[in-house]
Amino acid sequence: MKKSIWVGTRGSRLAIAQTEIALAALRRAHPGVRFEVVTISTKGDVDKRPLFTMDEKGIFEKEVNEAVKKGEADFAVHSLKDIPSDLSEELVVACIPKRASPNDVLVNDKGQKLKELAPGSVIGTSSLRRAVQLTKYRPDLNVMPIRGNVETRVKKVISGEYGAVVLAEAGLTRIGMKDVIVERFSIRDFVPAPGQGAIAIVCRRDDKALIRMLGQIEDSRSRAEVLAERALIKKVEGGCRFPLGAVAVTNGDKITLYASVFSADGSRNIKVKKVGKASEPEKLGDKVAGMLVKQGAMEMAEGWRRAVDEWNRKL
């Protein structure tokens, strides 16, 4: 293994924090290796439109992974949920370190939980999945699109532009802002995005030595969970324009997968829970996907296309 390794990542505070988490583990395992971080701007960093208006995949990872493919970086560190299920065949998710909390949380500066917010309060989210779940529980709130990095969204609450925002707990914790969390939502009641809380390390598929090195900080339970979730979204074709909540939880040799899909108006909710073998996570993901499809999940897609158009008119 060479003595200096180049690591590609986005330049956001969260991306850098996630990269440092991965590198801290790698440095402990390989104290003689020097890691050099190179930051790369992505379309998702530059384009400030709400995420669900961008009808394309990989807006936060494509440019970084291209640098890996070209040899400009040896590996890349990503939020797993940013990686499309159809990753380039030249690349592989070589390592999933130990996953952080997958939960969503509520942030506001008045200490109010979701049920305590005043009717008409403006709640910001970049996620259709979060938006429809918020509307289900509090139809009297005004759920609006929000963009910007994690700290920018929090500042928009403090400034009074938004009454509250919903964010991923893992992101806030990783950048040292967990003190702004007012409420932590249950994964059963407020189902997270597939892969939320997990970090993925991507490298070239033909770099066997690097794959072995990265594998030394792999967490097998986290890998099993995200494999189940990603097998599900690959079959159901979830994405920013078709919100799907899914989270897997391992317990010994068993793994439980929870999945949830809403109609665009929130009136219909398909929920599935199924237990499988932790050694066969992708088989479980396929089964749950089939159950969702059989119950009409794909028929909801047209309603979501209309909903996206309506949200676009708000911008």
Take residue 88 and report the two structure tokens written for it: 């380039």
Largest CA distance in the chain: 59
Q: Reduced to 3 states, what is the DSSP secondary structure of residue 37? A: strand
Burial of 127: CB neighbours in 10 Å, binned 0-12, 13-18, 19+: buried
Calculate the alpha carbon distances from 71 to 23, 26, 43, 52, 76 in Å.
Answer: 19, 20, 20, 31, 11
Instruction: Output helix, strand, coil percentages for the chain, rounded to the nearest 5.
Output: 40, 25, 35
Take residue 135 and report the two structure tokens written for it: 């509307």
Calculate the alpha carbon distances from 109 to 35, 113, 122, 157, 217 in Å.
Answer: 39, 11, 13, 7, 37
User: ∠ CA(190), CA(234), CA(202), 5° rounding?
Assistant: 95
Is the torsion defined by CA of 95, 101, 102, 104 positive or negative? negative
First to last CA, the chain: 50
Instruction: Return d(Cα 63, Cα 41) in angstroms, integer.
Output: 7
Q: What are phi and psi of 244, to 5 degrees?
A: -135, 125
Active site residue 82: yes
Which residues, listed in sequence order, are joined to residue 239 by a DSSP beta bridge? 242
Give me the amino acid identity at 175: I
Torsion of CA 78, 82, 84, 89, to 10 degrees: -10
Closest CA to 181 of 197, 163, 196, 168: 168
Q: Which of 47, 55, 74, 82 is catalytic?
A: 82
Provide the annotated active-site residues. 82
